[in-house]
Amino acid sequence: MTLEAAEPHTDVPQCPVPHAKDTPLPPGHPEIPVAPPSKLQNPSGEHCIFFRQPEDGQNLSSMEVTTESLTPDPVELQDPEHLLVLSSRKSALAVCQATEVQLMLEARYGGNSPAFAPHAAEAADTNEEIAGVHRLLRGFEEDRTKELVPYHFPVRTMATLGDNNQRSPLYVIGGEGRAIWTKELEVALVAGSVDAIVHSLKDVPTTLPDGLELAAILEREDPRDALVVKQGLPYKSINDLPRGSVVGTSSVRRVALLRRAFPHLMFSDVRGNIQTRLAKLDAKDGPYTAIVLAAAGLKRMNLEDRITSYLVGTDMQYAVGQGALGVEVRTPRGPNQERDEKVRTLIRSISNWRSTWRCVAERALMHRMEGGCSIPLGVTTRLEDHDELEGKMHERIETPMELAQSGVLPTRVPIPPMPPAEGCRLTLSAVIVSLDGKQSCQHTETMLCRSAEDAERLGILVAEELEHNQNARGILDEVEHHRRLAEVADEKRRAAQNAGEATLAVPEVDRRGMPRDDGEPKAWEV
């Protein structure tokens, strides 16, 4: 379906989101030439669900809501002062992640919050959690005598460039850490159509558009990579895979790190959401022996049983921000400063300082190296009490089978809400590996941190060591050279498609000679 952006007008509000031609507009949407006007019915198919003017609160309940508020009172949904619209990509995993944030906010500020329980005001003096919610909510009210009103947090979704382009290699169009997963959402956020975006943090560029910021990084899910073996095969770990086995992944980082440790394996691109990738893996005629996925995504989708083993240690350090959720908001300023300050404060209240420090250090390192998913950079971060906290929950070394046999399962451990006054030592380890796996540089640094700013300085220190005293820049220059080769090949493929030519006279194959399903041969497979 062809998408056409709304044409500019000078006398009506403008929608920044592209629209499918001949698809009806949402109720209350300004007219555009390529689409018929709204008939006050919910549209179907690909359509804009974001455009919203401050005075159009009466239309909010008729716009598409992927996940309804837990307390969907229609009257309250029309109150823009107590409505915070969350947004995410359309994938099932993205919706799951956005719902996780929604539930956290509902628990604190929604109708089921302790702040709105019977006799909550009286109980606030003895219940610190309820008291904190009261202080925060009443801090936003001009009239302190007014009754507290619960907030609502509907979730709205849209497709991004990374979702729509399933043929081009990720390292050609951007990948993790680049704007292909975030740009369309950020356009809606800047326009005021939504109030906050829930991201997989590894997808968020280290430089955000002007006027936007990360307000929260949530408690981190397992950041490790997971090996998933084709159903019916007997292999229990990557060490068991026989020579010539094809491992599916779209990550240059994973290919480079695994090629260094397992040069006898082959690697082939695999795109799509988690369910699509698992289906490609398990297909009887599929070329993959195993695929590598983020453990966090599998766990969030209740697919942990598909994890054959975790990839840990120097063989596979994880991606920057992997496993963490970040929430992006507008920086308060201009005529809507008061509302944006309220949104930022609400979102900040669910942030986790441990995840924030770790991810800030990792993102500062990546920012200095000027890279995204298209560079083979792996990291590991640990606070000094890791073994007593994260180590007992998500980031265990044992495989699921070993855990089951031992009868030991990961357990939840209370996380301190505030960092210790004396600070906490944070360790950041990073490795950069050439595409052929034959060159690498790595460095580990530990610093006593008392704030996120200290963690950021740690990331910069590690980056400076890799850049100035090791061969990081040479390796990254080689990666960029190969990326450009792949980009040219991908442009040729798309040009041939647009010209109506046969795109693949001969089926595309990977290094093992097995067919693949997308694009020209990848430069890092040559």
| pLDDT, greater one: 252 or 324 | 324
CA distances from 268 to 178, 246, 295 (A): 22, 7, 19
Q: Where are the domains of the chain?
A: 79-113+150-218+325-351, 225-317, 352-385+422-496
Does the pLDDT at position 124 exceed 60? yes
The two three-digit tokens of residue 280, written as one number: 């490609």
On whether the CB atoms of residues 175 and 373 are closer than 8 A, the answer is: yes
Question: In this structure, what are the phi and psi dihedrals at residue 131, rounded to the nearest 5 degrees?
Answer: -60, -40
Structure confidence by residue, pLDDT tens digits, 383-440 = 999 888 888 777 765 555 555 555 555 566 677 788 999 999 999 999 999 988 889 9
At the fourth CATH level, which superfamily is domain 225-317? Periplasmic binding protein-like II (3.40.190.10)
Domains 79-113+150-218+325-351 and 225-317 fall in the same CATH topology: yes
Cα separation, 33 vs 103, whole angstroms:
39
- Binned at pLDDT 50, 70 and 90, residue 132 comes out as confident
Percent of the chain with pLDDT over 70: 68
Task: Tell me how far apart the alpha carbons of residues 357 and 463 are, in angstroms, rounded to a whole number.
Answer: 16
Most confident of 39-53, 103-117, 163-177, 288-302: 288-302
Catalytic residues: 203
pLDDT classification of 511: cutoffs 50, 70, 90: very low
Q: What's the confidence (pLDDT) of residue 481? A: 82
CATH number of 79-113+150-218+325-351: 3.40.190.10
Domain 352-385+422-496 classified CATH 3.30.160.40?
yes
Between residues 38 and 366, the one the model is more confident about? 366
Q: What is the pLDDT of residue 348?
A: 94
**Lowest pLDDT segment from 107-111, 284-288, 499-503:** 499-503
* Residue 199 pLDDT level (bands cut at 50, 70, 90): very high
